[in-house]
Amino acid sequence: MSVLHFAILLPLLAAPFIPFLFKGMKQIHTGWFVLVVPVVLVSYFAGFIPVTSAGDVVTETIAWMPSLGINFTAYVDGLSLLFALLITGIGALVVLYSIYYLDKDKESLGHFYVYLLMFMSAMLGVVLSDNMIVMYMFWELTSISSFLLIGYWYEKERSRYGAQKSMLLTVFGGLSMLGGIVLLESMVGSYSIRDMVANSGVIAESPFFLVAMILILLGAFTKSAQFPFHIWLPDAMEAPTPVSAYLHSATMVKAGLYLVARMSPVFQESPVWLWTIAAVGMFTMFWGSFNAVKQTDLKGILAFSTVSQLGLIMSLLGLGAAALHYDGIDDNIFIVATIAAIFHLINHATFKGSLFMMAGIVDHETGTRDIRKLGGLMTVMPITFTIAVIGSLSMAGLPPFNGFLSKEMFLKATTKVFSADFFALETIGILLPVVAFLGSVFTFIYSIMLFTRTFMGEAKFDQLPKKPHEAPIGMLISPVILALLVVGLGFFPNVLSNTLIKPAVESIYPTLVAQGQNVKVDIYFWHGLTPELYMTIGVILLGSLLFWQMNKWMGIYNRIPHRLTLNGVYDGTLVWSNKAAYRFKDNYMTGFIRSYLIYIFVFLSGMMLFSIWWFDMYQFSFENMAEIAPYEYVLGAVVILAALAILFMKSRLPSIILLGVVGYGVALFFVFFGAPDLALTQLVIETVSVALFLLVFYHMPDISKKETRMRFKVGNAIVAVLVGVTVTLLSFMALTHKSLSSISEYHIENVYDLAAGKNMVNVILVDFRGFDTLFEIVVLGIAALGIYTMIKFRTTRRTKGDGANEAKQQTRQ
Amino acid sequence: MEIFVSIIIGVLTMCAVYLVLSRSLLRIIIGTALFSHAAHLLVLTTAGLKTGAAPVLVDGVTEYTDPLPQALVLTAIVISFGVTAFFLVLAYRTYQELSTDNMEEMKGTESYD
C-alpha cells in the first residue's frame, strides 16, 4: 500500500466519516470537511509534474488477485497525471462551489458528499490504473456514483428518468468494454495496458482485433456521450449544478476520451480506428452544436455543447493516429491533432466548468434556467456576466481566450488531412473540414446566444420567481478562478506546454518516443494568414448572420417527428422491449400446469428422438431375450387394457379401481420376474394407495355430481403417444446396448460371506447400499409429517366451499 | 419378453402422460402413479429379465436374477408411495380450501399484490 494507492483511495476512505460529520456538526457546512480531500490530493499530484516532465513514470503495485493476473497497479505518466490534476483540481473548486450552492439545512448533504467522494476515487482509479480489470471496476464505480448523483433529488420524476437513462447507456458501454478487455487479454495474456502497448503487433494480427476495438470504443463512446449515445447527457442535467459542472463537463465524460487516448498506442495502426473515431467525433461535434441552438434551458445548451466539444476532442484523437505513418516527428502535422486534443481537453474543463457554475448561479438567484424568461441580468449580476462572456467566447473559439488556440489547432488538423496519402484521407477527408466548419458555426451561435439571451436584452424581473441579485462571494470564487484560468491560458498557453501537454502527448505515442524523438509543443496566437484563420473569420461572419436571422430558420428543428429522434427511439425501445417481454411471457407462461407439462414432455421426447436419429441408434438387436410364457401374455394384456380403460372412465371411482388392477398386475409381473420382495412390497403399497385414493375420493362428494368423461384432446393425445414411443425406444436401446456386465456378481458371491445374509435384495438394502434405505426412511418420515401438518395446521378456519370469500372478509377487517 | 414388457411400459407411460395433462387433480395423481409403475418396470427390464432363481441364496443354484435393480425398485416404490400419499392429501386439502379439483379453476387464486 504505497502513498499513491492511498491517494487514489483517499476519497473513498474519507466517505464513511461524512454522514457522522453531517449529523454531528450541524453548525458547519459538511463541504468544508470534504474540501480538504481534493486540496490535499491536488497538491500531492502536483508533486509529480517534475517527474513526468522529465519523461519518467511512477509505478506502484498491490497484489490483489495475482492468480488471475489482476493486481492493483497504479501507473503515473503524463496522460494519467493530466487527468488526475483535472479531477482533483476541478473537484476542489466544485466542492467549494457546492458549499455555497447547497443549503445545509434543506439538503441531505451527507448523501451528496459521500457520492461525490465515491466518484472522485473512482475517477482517479480509472485514470491511474494500469490493469484493465481494475480500471473497469473503477469505471463502473463512476457509472454508479454518477447514477446516484443524477438521481440526487430522487423525488423528482425527471431525475429518476435521467439517472436510469445514464445508467442503462453507460453500463451497456461498460459491459461491452469488459468484453473488449477480455478479448485483448486473450491475445496478449496480460491485463496490463503497458503489456498491450508492447504487444500491439500481436493484437493487430489477431482475428478478433476489430471486435475488441469496437467493444472498447463502445465503452468510450457511451461514457463520453458520442453520437448516438449522447442522449443521456442532456437528461443528466437534472442533477444539482455542481454535479453537472464536475461530472458532466470536466471529468466523467472525459473518461471515454482518456480511454481512447490510452488505447491509441494499441490500436492506432489500423485505419478503422482513425476513421471510426474521427467520423463519430466529427459528427457528434456537428450534431451537438446543431442541437444546442434550439435548447431553451441554460443547462440544456451546456449539455449539448459538452457533447459537441467532446466530439471535437474525440475526432482530434482519431486524427492523431495518422501521425504514426510518418517517420519524423518534427514536421509531423498530425501530432498537432493530438496536442490540440489534449490542450482543448484542459481548456474545455476550465470554460465549461465555469459556465455550468454560472448557470447554477443564475438558477440560484433568479429561480429559473429558462432563457425565454431571463434577460437583462447584466446590470444586476456584473461578475456573473463577465464569467459568462469569458466562458462563452472561449467556447466559441474567439481570441484572446484559450478556446481560440485549441480551435485554431483543431481547424488546422482538419485542413491538413489532404496532405496524407493513406486511409483515403485525401478523398473522403474533404468532409472533415466541412463538418468542422459547420459545427464551429453552430458553436458560435449558441455561445453568443448563451450570454446575450441571459444577460442582455430587456429585463423581465417581474416574471422571475425570485428577485435577482449578485451571488454571494463564496459562490463566485470557483467560477472566477476558472475564468481567470481561461484568460491566463489564453495569454500564456506555454505554461502548460512542457509541464502537462508534452508528457501527455508522449504517452499517446510511445513508439515515437522510443525512437528518441521529442514532441515539440509550442502554442502561440499568430500563425500568419493560414486557412484556419480564414475559417475562423468565416465562422464569425456566418455565425453572426445566422444569429441575427435566427427566427427565420428555427423551423427546421421541428421537421423531425418525435418518434424518429434519438430520444424517441430510446424511449420507444424501452417501452417496446418491455411490452415484447410481457407479451412473450404471457404467451408461454399461461398459468396452466398442462402447458408447462406439455413443454417439458415435448422437449424431452424431442431431444430423445433427435438424439436417437442423430447418433444412428435405431438399429436394435434383440438377442438372448427371455422366453415369454402364455400367462404372461394374458397378464400383459390385462395391464395394458386396464391402463387404457382408465382414460375412458367417466367416474373417478372406476379409474381408481383400474389403477389398482394395474398395480396388482405389476406385482404379478414382479412375481414372474423372480422378485418376491418387490411383489410383496408392491401388493401392500398398492393396497394402501388405493385405500388412500378412495379416502380422498370419498371426501370430495360434490365432485361426483359434476363428473364427466375426459374430453378427448388431440394435442394431449399426440404428446402422450410421443412420450410413450420415446420411452419404448429408450427401453429397446437399453436392451440393445449392453456394454458392461453387471456388478451384481459381486453381491451374489459375497452376500453370505461378507454380510451373513441369504436374501440378496435385503442385504443390498441394509448392508451394501444401506444409505439409500436410510434416506428412503427419511422420505417416508417427512411425507408422514407433512401430511400430518397439512391436515392439522390451519391458519384460517374456513367452512367448506366459500373459503376464498371468507379470507377476503378477514383481511378487510 | 423384454420387448413385450417394453411395449407395456410404453403404453403405461402414454396413459400416464395423457392423464397428467388432464384437468382433474385426482386424474393427475392417478397419472403419476401410472408413471411410477412404468418406471419401476423399466428399471427391472433394462437390467435384463433373464430367468433364474429369485435372489435368495440356495445351495446348488448358480443362476439368480439380478438383485441390484430389485433393490433399486424397492426403494423407488417406497419413495413414490410417500410422494403419492403426500400428493393425495394435498389434493384433499386443496379441495377443502378451494372446493374444486379442476386445475384450470385454480389458476390465479393466489394474489400477486
pTM of this prediction?
0.83
CB-based contact A765 B75, cutoff 8 Å: yes
- The residues near A771 (Cβ < 8 Å, ≥ 6 apart) are none
> In whole angstroms, how far apart are CA A794 and each of A7, A280, A695, A805?
62, 67, 20, 17
CB contact at 8 A, A391 and A302: no
pLDDT digits (tens, 9 = 90+) for A609-666: 998 888 877 777 777 777 788 888 999 999 999 999 999 888 888 889 999 999 999 9
**Residue of higher predicted confidence among A781 and A337:** A781
Domain ranges of chain B: 2-101
pLDDT digits (tens, 9 = 90+) for A515-551: 666 666 666 656 666 777 888 888 888 888 888 877 7
CB-based contact B79 A759, cutoff 8 Å: no
CB-based contact B89 A696, cutoff 8 Å: yes
pLDDT value at A774 more than 90: yes
Listed in order, strand segments (DSSP E) in A607-743 are: none
CB-based contact B20 A689, cutoff 8 Å: no
Please give, rounded to a whole number of angstroms, the shortest distance from the CA of A486 to a CA of chain B: 58
| Surface of A (673-732) touching B: CB under 8 A | 673-678, 681-682, 685, 688-689, 692-693, 695-697, 699-700, 702-703, 710, 713, 716-717, 719-721, 723-725, 727-728, 730-732
Residue pointed to by grid coordinates 399426440? A718
pLDDT value at A19 more than 80: yes
Q: Which three cell numbers stand for residue A244?
A: 453537472
Q: Please state, rounded to an integer, the average pLDDT across all residues of chain A.
A: 85
Find, in chain A, the residue whose alpha carbon is nearest to that of B108.
A591
**Whole-angstrom Cα distance, residue A93 to residue B17?**
73
**Whole-angstrom Cα distance, residue A465 to residue A485?**
33
Contacts of B55 in chain A (CB under 8 A): 674-675, 748, 759-761
Contacts of B101 in chain A (CB under 8 A): 700, 703
CB contact at 8 A, A248 and A302: no
Closest partner residue to A659 among B33, B52, B83, by Cβ? B33
What is the average pLDDT across A8-19?
90
pLDDT of residue A811: 47
pLDDT digits (tens, 9 = 90+) for B66-78: 888 999 999 999 9
> In whole angstroms, how far apart are CA A178 and each of A135, A183, A188, B20?
10, 9, 15, 47
Contacts of A748 in chain B (CB under 8 A): 55, 64, 67
**Whole-angstrom Cα distance, residue A678 to residue A668?**
10
CB atoms within 10 A of CB A684: 13
Please give, rounded to a whole number of angstroms, the shortest distance from the CA of B112 to a CA of chain A: 13
> Which fold is adopted by the domain B2-101?
Helix Hairpins (1.10.287)
Of A88-102, A406-420, A567-581, the least confident: A406-420
- Percentage of chain A surpassing pLDDT 90? 30
CB contact at 8 A, A505 and A335: yes
pLDDT digits (tens, 9 = 90+) for A231-288: 899 888 888 989 989 988 888 899 999 999 998 888 877 888 888 888 899 889 988 8
pLDDT of residue A812: 44
CB-based contact A643 B12, cutoff 8 Å: yes
CB-based contact B21 A656, cutoff 8 Å: no
CB-based contact A783 B86, cutoff 8 Å: yes
For A156, phi then psi, to 5°, come to: -90, 130
Q: In the structure, what pLDDT confidence band is assigned to residue A813 with cuts at 50, 70 and 90?
A: very low
Q: Which helix (H) or strand (E) holds A60?
A: strand A58-65
Using alpha carbons only, what angle is made at residue A498 by residues A35 and A478, rounded to the nearest 5 degrees?
Answer: 25
**Whole-angstrom Cα distance, residue A525 to residue A492?**
10
Q: Which three cell numbers stand for residue B105?
A: 379453476
What is the average pLDDT across A727-740?
80
| Surface of A (618-657) touching B: CB under 8 A | 622, 625-628, 632-633, 636, 639-640, 643-644, 646-647, 652, 655-656
Tell me the DSSP string of A1-50: --HHHHHHHHHHHHTTHHHHHHHH-TTS-HHHHHHHHHHHHHHHHHTTHH
pLDDT digits (tens, 9 = 90+) for A314-328: 988 888 877 776 655
pLDDT value at A810 more than 50: no
**Whole-angstrom Cα distance, residue A627 to residue A456?**
108
Q: Does A755 touch chain B (CB under 8 A)?
A: no
DSSP H helical ranges for A157-297: 157-188, 193-198, 200-205, 209-223, 232-235, 241-245, 252-267, 271-292
CB-based contact A804 B109, cutoff 8 Å: yes
pLDDT digits (tens, 9 = 90+) for A682-725: 999 999 999 988 888 887 766 656 677 777 888 899 999 999 99
- Percentage of chain A surpassing pLDDT 70? 91
CB-based contact B33 A713, cutoff 8 Å: no
pLDDT of residue A800: 47
What is the average pLDDT across A386-412?
86
Contacts of B23 in chain A (CB under 8 A): 594
CB contact at 8 A, A359 and A241: yes
**Whole-angstrom Cα distance, residue A366 to residue A463?**
10
Closest by CA position to A49, among listed A73, A85, A74? A85
Find, in chain B, the residue whose alpha carbon is nearest to that of A771.
B75
Find, in chain A, the residue whose alpha carbon is nearest to that of B63.
A748
**Whole-angstrom Cα distance, residue A101 to residue A95?**
10
pLDDT digits (tens, 9 = 90+) for A580-613: 999 998 888 888 888 899 999 999 999 999 988 8
Q: Is residue A524 classed exposed, middle or buried when 0-12, 13-18 and 19+ CB atoms within 10 A define those classes?
A: exposed
**Whole-angstrom Cα distance, residue B66 to residue A696?**
38
What is the average pLDDT across A78-82?
90
Please give, rounded to a whole number of angstroms, the shortest distance from the CA of A772 to a CA of chain B: 7
Closest by CA position to A566, among listed A361, A800, A283? A283
